[in-house]
Amino acid sequence: MRVAILECDKVAEKFQSQFGQYSEMIRHMFATTGSTFDFDVYNCQQGDYPPNLDRYDFFITTGSRAAAYAHETWIRQLIKFVHLLDDKRKILIGICFGHQVMAMACGGQVEKSDKGWGIGIARNRIVASPDWISEKRDELNTIVSHQDQIVQLPDDALVIAESDFCPYFIVQWNDHFLSIQGHPEWNGDYSRALINDRRDTIPRQRVEAGLDSLATQPDNPLFTNWILDFVRNRQQSN
């Protein structure tokens, strides 16, 4: 498969030598599947986008420290590109910030949550299991790092996973858009490093709870396989 990674941020310089860039984390996430991928990376903050949409089997976003509702030129441009992918019925997978950008593009609403920071491992209930999911589960545990959340969905969106903290954790927007609030591409060491680095901005009890939660193994391989299930189902239906 050929994949376009829509890179929406850079890893902080002090962490790059140990953890690499977000696009590298996504490459590693898919490397665990045993399938073969060719990746091209596009820097959305610099206005860099694929010139030929038909070249790719699917598109996937990275996360970002930016707010999807911010009136920044590059974010507005990214939302327009999501509209284009929708019009062309191209497959898009959104991660964290990308999840929220898809909400903005599809008629949803995103806000900074009054629930505060979501960090560490988030436990989520699976509330819908579309036919394309090959391995059914009742729960999905994924690393998170966010303050913003989707607070309103369009009527035709399907919530696949939820929690009391984040009601719209995994959303299928149509037959070609799928997104998650979490970070299935991150590992526990990177999450731990970020949490410790933000001790001055996150309440102490939330920090300690987030660090403790990292004892749980995230379901990264499961969600990665769900992505491939979704992509293959869409391709077979064409």
Hey, which residues does 180 pair with through a beta bridge? 95, 170
183 is catalytic: yes
106 is catalytic: no
Look at the block and give the residue holding tokens 């191209």. 90
Angle formed at CA 229 by CA 28 and CA 162, multiple of 5 degrees? 85
Closest C-alpha to 119, from 172, 43, 192: 192
Out of 106, 166, 176, 185, which one is annotated catalytic? Answer: 185
Closest C-alpha to 151, from 136, 166, 140, 137: 166
Strands 2-7 and 58-61: parallel
Out of 96, 99, 146, 176, which one is annotated catalytic? Answer: 96
- Under DSSP, is residue 171 helix (H, G, I), strand (E, B) or coil? strand
Inter-residue contact 7 to 22 (CB < 8 Å): yes
Inter-residue contact 121 to 76 (CB < 8 Å): no
Closest C-alpha to 104, from 117, 94, 114: 94
96 is catalytic: yes
- Under DSSP, is residue 119 helix (H, G, I), strand (E, B) or coil? strand
Cα atoms in the 13 Å half-sphere on the side-chain side of 120: 16
Total number of residues shown for the chain: 238
Catalytic residue list? 96, 183, 185
